Amino acid sequence: MNIFAFEFKRHLRMTLLFTLFLAVFSSGMLFFYMFIKEDLDMMMVFFDRFPAPMKAMMSSDISIVTTPLGLFSFIYSFISIIPAIQAIYLGLSIHGSPFSEKTSEFIFTKPASRARHFFMKSTSGVFLIVLETIVFVTVLISALFLMGESSGVAFTLVWIALSFLLTQLVFLAIGTLLAYVFMGMKSYLSVSLGVAAFFFAVSAFAVSGNADKLRYFTPFQYHRFDTLLMNGHMDSNLFFFTILIMTILLGISYFRFASVEVYSR
């Protein structure tokens, strides 16, 4: 067992539990479409009566709810904070545990460079997010297939998967950075919750106000499902911006980690 396998195994249960929640919710939302299919006009009227900021948070075009994936993305925009919390928590836990659990003396005196530690830990986090994405998309495909609504959505699902993956990876990188900025903290869940809520609030301001530039400060706005569904593709500028943000976050985290001194017991 190496660092990768150790961290992967250690966080697998929590990731699978969360993935199960996401799978149940996602399939539930898709099957919900079957029940309201006949009354979509009424649903649109219902959604249209939502306050403007709330509507803006859900989608810029309410007509997307006429498809299963559209309805799903419409509602998902409100629960997208939950995967974000999980990804931040994962980053915090993988990278912060040697300091919070005081195992740093044990692990950092083993024959592995700091770079290897960082790379292996980060890779285990990425693999867990990838696993989560695969299950998430598989559930979406399966549900759509069972509903008989799977034709012509393959390409869209690829974009949704990539969008979900990238957003989760940004939050993972944010968690990683937080682990090295606030070393030794133990309250991962409350910190994850607070940080995700902050970005969610920024996201609400970004879509409901005139501060369009704000969307660059919140990962919730980088790759929205509704935008993907409407445009049929991912915004390439935001794709590269996401990669840049992740590189910066991980770069700062690594340099912080490389210079960490382990002296407190």
Angle in degrees, CA 178, 183, 185, rounded to 5: 90
**CA-based R_g, the chain, Å:** 20
Note whether 265 and 102 are within 8 A (CB): yes
| Closest approach of other proteins to the CB of residue 244, in Å | 31
| Closest approach of other proteins to the CB of residue 112, in Å | 6
C-alpha–C-alpha distance, residues 139 and 142, integer Å: 5
222 HSE (CA, 13 A, CB side) = 28
List, in order, residues 6 or more apart from 104 with CB less than 8 Å away: 98, 262
| Closest approach of other proteins to the CB of residue 202, in Å | 36
C-alpha–C-alpha distance, residues 263 and 246, integer Å: 30
| CB closer to other proteins, 15 vs 104 | 104
CA dihedral 208, 235, 240, 164 (to 10 degrees): 80
| CB closer to other proteins, 100 vs 156 | 100
Q: What's the one-letter identity of residue 75? A: I
Q: What's the one-letter identity of residue 240? A: F
| CB closer to other proteins, 39 vs 105 | 105
| Closest approach of other proteins to the CB of residue 101, in Å | 6
| Closest approach of other proteins to the CB of residue 5, in Å | 8
| CB closer to other proteins, 111 vs 148 | 111
C-alpha–C-alpha distance, residues 171 and 178, integer Å: 10
Residue 153: closest CA among 245, 3, 33, 8:
33
| CB closer to other proteins, 7 vs 226 | 7
| CB closer to other proteins, 1 vs 52 | 1
| CB closer to other proteins, 40 vs 260 | 260
| Closest approach of other proteins to the CB of residue 1, in Å | 5
Note whether 177 and 169 are within 8 A (CB): no
Give contact residues for other proteins (rule: CB under 8 A).
1-2, 6, 10, 101-106, 108-113, 116, 259, 261-263, 265
| Closest approach of other proteins to the CB of residue 131, in Å | 21
